Amino acid sequence: MSRDPIFRPWMDQLLKLLGAGAAVTGLYAVLMVYFGLSPKTLSAGYMPQQPVPYSHALHVGELGLDCRYCHTTVESAAFAAVPPTQTCINCHEKIAPTSHKLDPVRNSFVSGLPVQWIKVHDLPDYVYFNHSAHVTRGVSCVECHGRIDQMEEVHQVKPLSMGWCLGCHRNPASHLRPVDRVTDLDWGLDRTEEEKAAQGNEIMKGLGLIDESGLPTTRLTLLTNCSTCHR
């Protein structure tokens, strides 16, 4: 007595292919999640359109304004203040007083309501980041924000992910510079890695992160403590 088998011989070959396909798909999905959902992909390059086409390249790069002229609280507070409209008006009362591009600024000055700038470098609420703690210890603006002085429009360069933060917190030496050079975004670009490390180590000694013999101190371990950033 015969019966008709519901599956055919060739389907077993298909089964092998399906198995291999499932394995590949699984791997693909994992890699997609790992790379696709990473802040490197999702956040870096973020460039919202601002209400005013303010050019850092012009103001900082060409005209040579210091960062701290506008972001006044950066050395003393956790938050790097976005300048009030008055700061803009200081110059733009005289310079380009009729430019339509500056309409929102003048409107703001008249009405007293702030310009609706859009925050580019936005950390999650559970991250405690203190600008003054970094800036006054020799971490330059450029380390996190990139060459703002060359940007027509500000965009996020670094991923600002936790792993990226840790990269520096674990091994700060080559990211440090003399405190008075912090806002010079084009300073020391020609230094070699060895020079950076040597210079950084001296600064770390000064900060008490490593001792005279170059061994890490307890202070250094605090840089990677959970509660340093998650308070």
Partner 1 sequence: MKELLDKLGPILRPEFTGNAESPEIDNTAYSPDNRTPLLTGSDDNTTISDKVCQIVEQKPTIGWWMFFLLSFSVLGLLGVFVPFLIFWGVGTWGVNNPVGWGYAIVNFVFWIGIGHAGTLISAILFLFRQKWRTSINRAAEAMTIFAVICAGLFPGIHVGRAWFAYWMFPIPNQMELWPNFRSPLLWDVFAVGTYFTVSLMFWYMGMMPDLATLRDRAKHPLRKVVYGILAMGWTGSHRHWHVYERAYLLLAALATPLVLSVHSVVSFDFAVSQVAGWHSTIFPPYFVAGAIFSGFAMVMTLLVPARQFFGLKDVITLKHLENMNKIIMLTGMIVGYSYAQEFFIAWYSGVNVEKFAFINRAFGQYAWAYWIMVSCNVLSPQIFWFKKMRTSLVVMFIVSILVNIGMWFERFVIVVTSLANDYTPSAWDYYTPKLTDVAIMLGSFGLFFTLFALFCRFMPFVAMTELRGVLAAATHSTSTAPDDTSGKPAAGS
Partner 2 sequence: MEMNTEMLDTPAVETITAEDSVDPKPVLMLAEFETADLLLVAAAQVRDQGFRLWDCHTPYPVHGLDGAMAIRPTLLPWIVLGGGALGFCGGMLMQGWMNAVDYPFLVSGKPFWSIPASIPVGFEMTILFAAIGSFFGMLLLNGLPRLYRPHFRSDRFRRATSDRFFISIDGRDRRFDVESNARLLGELGATAVEVIEE
**Which CA distances in Å does 135 have to 77, 143, 231?**
10, 10, 20
Selection from partner 2, partner 1, none that 225 binds (CB < 5 to 8 A by kind) is: partner 2
**Which one of residues 125, 189, 226, 231 is an interface residue with partner 2 (CB under 8 A)?**
226
Decide if residue 11 touches partner 2 (CB under 8 A): yes
Q: Which residue has the tokens 């519901």?
A: 6
Decide if residue 27 touches partner 1 (CB under 8 A): no
CB of 21 to partner 1, least distance (A): 16
In the bound state with partner 2, the residue whose beta carbon lies nearer, of 118 and 166, is 166
CB count, 10 Å around CB of 167? 13
Contact flags string 36-55 toward partner 1, x per CB under 8 A: --xxx---------------
Decide if residue 166 touches partner 2 (CB under 8 A): yes
Decide if residue 162 touches partner 1 (CB under 8 A): yes
Distance CA 61, CA 150 (A): 6
Decide if residue 20 touches partner 2 (CB under 8 A): no
156: its two tokens: 């996020």
Length of the chain in residues, anyone? 231
CB count, 10 Å around CB of 142? 22
In the bound state with partner 1, the residue whose beta carbon lies nearer, of 108 and 156, is 156
What is the size of the binding site for partner 1 (CB under 8 A)?
13
Distance CA 90, CA 68 (A): 15
Distance CA 37, CA 160 (A): 13
Decide if residue 228 touches partner 1 (CB under 8 A): no
Contacts of 197 (CB under 8 A, 6+ apart): 173, 174
Selection from partner 1, partner 2, none that 161 binds (CB < 5 to 8 A by kind) is: partner 1
CB of 6 to partner 1, least distance (A): 4
In the bound state with partner 2, the residue whose beta carbon lies nearer, of 130 and 225, is 225
Q: Is 140 helix (H, G, I), strand (E, B) or coil?
A: coil
